[in-house]
Structure 1
Amino acid sequence: MACSIDARARNSPTALRCIGIILGLFALVLPSVHAEPTLDDAELAVVSALRKMASGDALGAQRVLEPIIKSKPYFQLAQLVYADALQTLAGRGPELSIAQAQAQLRALRQEALVRSRYVLNERQARAMPANALPDVLIKAADDVRHAIVVDAQASRLLLFERGPQGLRLTRDHYVSIGKKGARKDREGDQRTPVGVYFVTARIKADTLPDFYGVGALPVNYPNEWDMRLGRTGYGIWIHGVPSDTYARPPRASDGCMALSNEHLSDLLRIQNTLEMPVIIADTLNWVSPDDIQRQRREWVKRIEDWRTDWESRDQRRYARHYASSFETGGYDQSSWLAYKARVNGQKKYIRVGVKRLSLYRYPGEHDMVVASFEQDYRSDNFAQESQKRQYWRKDIDGQWRIVYEGAVRLSPEHLRGIPYSARARLTSLD
């Protein structure tokens, strides 16, 4: 199949499909492809080869892709572009058996466009300040060594790792999401959820079908907010791909996030993945370190005000932190505050410790932040340590208030998707 745009091939059906790929790339800004430490060499090579094919340099495309073809024989997009280059160099007609594989060709075209658009245009066009972060990463507790952020629209999974200056971007991977895109709402809708999630388990390859590749990292969908909104479904994982595949099309799963086995292996090598945040957004807003620091200070003070107001046993001060829409465990705002007034009124003192505080802006919701922390509660007649999660939302008067608060636990729906040996064998929805 030749993607040459010369007179001999210009009008053939297969050539027109190839031209569609190239024109899609010409619609982008096409700067030089510079290697970046966070991007994958194979991906950069494919995008560089596509650019060379678009400019008529089939020999250059062949040379760029030769090592990739040898090291990653199942990278179908690389194979397709490489075959185009060889056919063009041979001066042969464009018709190949792949012309019959319409669905596969469309999928590869989408993969080419998504990868190229990101590498050649969107990422470089951001002009991000040094050490910029997505605004969802307000604060990660000091012992949170890694965080995952998914840009669903761009089909990217970003891995952030803690360094001397805090979290920094270290890996930037192509990822496949749900067939119908993002914003999961109900079971079977073939969408990937948007929100703040946490890794809950690590599943080894030897317990899974080959379809899931080298392993899986389940996340806690549905989370507390999903359940509050009545969202259904379960079994949302980050997993690999079949052993005879390098990558899947941008939208190919039933809701999971599928990485190449090579890239998923990188994640599985992280020693402590439990409770690692996985924040899935439609698209990302990158901000400067100064902006993150400002937001962090504001939120640490807000949590501290809540903590000291609870310790004060002053019901008016405590109540001001809870929204009229607050719900938790069968309580609404009125019944919750009545319950807390009764309990707090019986105490001689209350001491509340907050440790390991993490703060994440909730994507897909207007002005919502999730606080996750260890709470050490002490009073004259009771003591308890727990992992707590709060959902804060900006009210109509501009004040931030809590709309959900509760101890961290896994929902029955989520547990259905984790194949522990003590349970019946269960797989993800994908």
Structure 2
Amino acid sequence: MKYRTQMEAAKKGIVTKEIAQVAREERMEEQELLQLVAKGQVAIPANINHKAIHPYGIGQGLRTKINVNLGISGDCIDYSAEMDKVKLAIKYGAESIMDLSNYGKTHEFRRKLIEMSPAMIGTVPVYDAVGYLEKELSDITAQDFLKVVRAHAEEGVDFMTIHAGINRRASEIFMSEKRKMNIVSRGGSLLFAWMKMTGNENPFYEYYDELLDILREYDVTISLGDSLRPGCLEDSTDASQIAELTELGCLTLRAWEKDVQVLVEGPGHMAIDEIQANMKLQKRLCHGAPFYVLGPLVTDIAPGYDHITSAIGGAIAAASGADFLCYVTPAEHLRLPDINDVKEGIVASKIAAHAADIAKGVKGARDQDIKMSEARKKLDWDTMFDVAIDGEKARTYFESVPPKDKHSCSMCGKMCAVRTMNKILNGENVELKSEK
């Protein structure tokens, strides 16, 4: 029995090798996962041309996945530096990498990325359109945009952010609102500008069926972009955001009708007390499709520390139903992140995802924490470093001020509570002054 996409296979009751692998790694029965993929509540982005991919599932009942953004910009043209970031992302277990390159030889960089990366690869085709087509924005046609989508699909991109929800209806609501931060989505702002300059409807909305046909051909998952996401706390959960989200719900159903898998992208900046309601609203309006969030950043005043504001929001979002976290680095709002920023962003996002999985009761989520507790009880430092999310950093901290007693650290020394309890429960005396 033939099939084009993971969703079509699932609807026909076919357990693909990707579904089988995801089920095994997530400790889920194949038939349970099959039903979730068929209903669109789990997506397995895996382009037929991405041969190096390690398939991952995103959605209900699965571990929260994280995405790492990178890519070339006009101010930072260093392909080797970006490839170093790719290798770092893979080393630290990022399940997804988005190439947001918008300058130079994007095709060559993307081809190398797809050839070597086991992580899912995502792109935003509208970023690449100006450079790829060598045209000014206002001169690009609807068919030109679709041409870039096809090029990315043929190369092996697993999912694409497509800002199809910012149509004329949503744009009119945005224009009437007078937001604090207007549109902060790069792709959304470009399409809004294109619509204003040409007088045309959003090409990805107007030619949505043609777009879906391209994505279906290569089993590319559509990530429905949130052009009108809030870029500051004052704009969160406003009419513009909800209007676009309503459009994304309709577009989700149209994609599923063509067996195209869907992710729905979510808010950027949002106060803590609004996050849970937003997650539930998205799941309701978008029919349970996997939710992919940038942050949310829970305050606007921490440039240089936005990996922390994002991790706080991401943990709450994922615990409340989000399935996929886009990392944020300390360089957010300030510059293109360097490799150290990338590491900080990955680790913060991994912590948020893991904390949420524990809260959601995902199978196996507590296993590492249990191993860490057992190692700490034994004061087994090597095992602690092996289990830690960033064992290299933990070891460096520990060894930077070596303890006199190997069974403690330099914080507590012989007064270490764990050491004290191990001794006293083992029938030994605790003599702090005389012990050597």
TM-score (norm 2): 0.23
Higher fraction of strand: 1
Structure that is richer in helix per residue: 2
The structure number with the bigger radius of gyration is 1
TM-score for both structures, normalised by structure 1: 0.23
